[in-house]
């Protein structure tokens, strides 16, 4: 994601571990909201943040957010059509849209949207190397895990290329004519086995190579980057806390939808 060129914004300077913690706290915070007005407002704020401070160009942002509509629809319709409720609005076969199920569906849609927005916000403003150095320095993550993840990230494009080549090879050799469940398993096997075999061999080689560089020989290590705290962190906490609180106030004072609790 971040391999594409982008502008550095102040969000990039926020301590990555802190950012992660805040976003995880947001997950809990969002789950605790049951009023779609509040949640809708919060979602809008998040989308505004996404549009203004990630430093990526508009066109690319549009591509990243294009699945958002689909996310909203896929999360909300299940509940809308089949949720429980008493005030019927529409009925057709098994589909039974009620006032309650509709609002609940909308709420779920906003929930998924806000989740997706926070996810995108995080991944577009955080460099993986900075994240793992921060996790090692601030959260005492063992270097064994941190550098393994970083090594893994290097492997992703390689696995992807192998996936494409495998698809080409399978197209050329043709199918076996199996159907149904057996075919599902066969497809899984035909892709998973070669990809896993190449990757596992590579993992073993990387492990030996890292140890050949005296990794994990000493118990302490020095660091190339020092990730610390700054004013940006305070600003970030204030910003997120601020829009969370603001959403409550706006949602309760100027409700658009006629419901306070979707449970």
Partner 1 sequence: MSMSKRNSKGLTLTDILVTIVIAIVFGIVYKIWGPMYDVVKPLGLHAEQTVYGMWFIAGTFAFLIIRKPGVAILAEVAASAVSAFLGSEWGISTLVYGLAQGLGAEIFFLLFLYRKSGVVVTSLAALGAAMASLGVDFYYGYISELTAWNYTLLIVLRLIGSVLIAGVFAYYLSKALEATGVTKLLRPVSKRDLDSLG
Partner 2 sequence: MTSQTINSVNQLRLKYPGEETLLFKDLSISIRKGEKVLLLGPSGSGKSTLLQVLSGLVPDALELPMKCKEQVVPKRWGYVFQDPDTQFCMPYADEELAFTLENLQVPQAEMPGLIRKYMEMVGLHFEDLHVPISTFSQGMKQRLAIAAALALEPEVLYLDEPTALLDPEGTAQVWETIQSLSGERTLLIVEHKISKVLQDVDRVILFNEAGEIIADKAPEQFFTEERESLIECGLWYPSIWQDYDARHRAEKRDVPETGGPIVVIRDFVGYRGKQPKIHVPEATVHAGEWISVVGSNGAGKSTLLLAIMRLIQTAGDCQVGDYAGEKTIQIAQRTGFVFQNPELQFLTDSVEDELMFGLLQTNKSQVQCKQSASELLTRFRLDGYQDRHPYQLSMGQKRRLSVATAVSGGKPLLLLDEPTFGLDAISTFQTLELLEELRRKGTAIIMVTHDLDIASRFSTRIWTIEEGLLREDKSC
Task: Give the interface with partner 2 as residue ranges (CB under 8 A).
Answer: 3, 128-129, 147-148, 150-151, 153-154, 157-158, 162, 165-166, 168-174, 176, 190, 194, 197-198, 202, 204-218, 220-224, 226
- Whole-number Å distance between alpha carbons of 46 and 247: 11
Angle at 129 (CA atoms; ends 125, 133), nearest 5 degrees: 110
**Minimum CB distance to partner 1 smaller for 184 or for 228:** 184
- Whole-number Å distance between alpha carbons of 37 and 256: 6
Picking from 67, 53, 100, 62, the residue whose alpha carbon sits closest to that of residue 81 is 100
- Whole-number Å distance between alpha carbons of 239 and 252: 20
Q: State which of residues 44, 53, 55, 68 lies at the interface with partner 1 (CB under 8 A).
A: 68
**Minimum CB distance to partner 2 smaller for 175 or for 242:** 175
CA separation, residue 64 to residues 1, 9, 17, 53, 150 (Å): 10, 18, 24, 15, 23
Q: Which of residues 91-150 bind partner 1 (CB under 8 A)?
A: 94-96, 101, 104, 107-108, 111-112, 115-120, 122-123, 128, 144-145, 148-149
Contact range with partner 1 by CB under 8 A, out of 7-15, 35-43, 151-159, 168-176: 151-159
Does the footprint of partner 1 cover residue 176 (CB under 8 A)?
Answer: no
Q: How far is the CB of 142 from partner 1 (least distance, A)?
A: 9
């Amino acid at each position: 994601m971040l391999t594409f060129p982008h502008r550095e914004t102040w969000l990039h300077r926020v301590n990555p571990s802190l950012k992660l913690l805040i976003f995880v706290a947001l997950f809990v915070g969002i789950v605790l909201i049951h009023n779609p007005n509040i949640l809708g407002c919060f979602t809008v704020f998040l989308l505004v943040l996404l549009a203004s401070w990630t430093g990526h160009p508009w066109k690319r942002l549009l591509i990243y957010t294009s699945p958002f509509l689909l996310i909203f629809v896929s999360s909300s319709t299940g509940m809308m059509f089949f949720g429980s409720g008493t005030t019927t609005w529409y009925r057709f076969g098994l589909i039974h849209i009620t006032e309650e199920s509709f609002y609940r569906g909308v709420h779920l849609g906003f929930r998924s949207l806000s989740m997706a927005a926070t996810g995108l916000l995080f991944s577009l403003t955080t460099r993986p190397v900075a994240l793992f150095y921060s996790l090692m320095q601030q959260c005492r993550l063992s270097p064994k895990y941190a550098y393994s993840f970083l090594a893994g990230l290097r492997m992703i494009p390689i696995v992807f290329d192998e996936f494409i080549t495998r698809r080409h090879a399978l197209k050329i050799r043709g199918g076996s004519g199996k159907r149904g469940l057996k075919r599902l398993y066969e497809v899984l096997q035909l892709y998973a086995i070669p990809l896993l075999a190449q990757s596992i061999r590579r993992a073993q080689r990387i492990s030996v190579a890292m140890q050949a560089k005296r990794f994990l020989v000493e118990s302490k290590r020095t660091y190339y980057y020092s990730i610390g705290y700054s004013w940006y962190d305070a600003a970030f906490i204030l910003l997120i806390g601020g829009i969370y609180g603001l959403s409550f106030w706006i949602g309760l004072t100027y409700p658009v939808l006629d419901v306070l609790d979707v449970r």
